[in-house]
Amino acid sequence: MAELAWAAAIEQQFHLTTACCPADARMAWIHRASERKVLALYRATRIHSGPIPSPWWLRAVASGRLRCRDDGFRAEDRIHALLTKRPGWEYVPWAADGESGYWEFTPSEHGVSGHHIPTTVLLTDRHDGWIDVLAAHSGSPPEPVAVAGITELRRLAGEFEALR
């Protein structure tokens, strides 16, 4: 039953292709319910199921490395504000079940070496900068580049855009 409750908790209430920004994609129960209840259900489900589909910010809050869900939302919104002011970046709301969306640099999709997957910025709980960048590629994804926060992303954005 825990898995069923969790599946309902992460289910979006509309078709994600209509989301133009991270805030538009925050329609599941985990985004709206009290943070205390979300964490309780997350932890109870993990006890019974091991790793479960969940957004980066929830894993970071549950581990005690991110103060609260709103801090995660602010990080998503700040990245969106930065990247969408730059030509070529698009927000992609349809990530894996329970995951947050990401941003793609569409000019890198068909780069010099025939890439099919564009340079991608996504949020992660694997380090405390919360931002990973995947270079444009085809086939297996490259190792993600850990970015130490929005200030470093702003500084390195041009270099990431040149990864074609």
Q: What angle do CA 20, 22, 24 make, to 5 degrees?
A: 60
Calpha distance 71→80 (Å, rounded): 14
pLDDT at 22: 95
pLDDT at residue 15 above 70?
Answer: no
Please give the tally of structural domains in the chain.
1
Calculate what percentage of the chain has a pLDDT beyond 90: 68
Q: Is 114 left (phi over 0), alpha (psi -120 to 50) or beta?
A: left
Reported confidence tier of residue 116, pLDDT bands at 50, 70, 90? confident
| Mean of pLDDT values over 79-87 | 97
Contact (CB, 8 A) for 150 and 78: yes
Reported confidence tier of residue 57, pLDDT bands at 50, 70, 90? very high
Reported confidence tier of residue 18, pLDDT bands at 50, 70, 90? confident
Domain with 122 in it: 2-161
Mean pLDDT over the full length of the chain: 90
| Mean of pLDDT values over 24-32 | 93
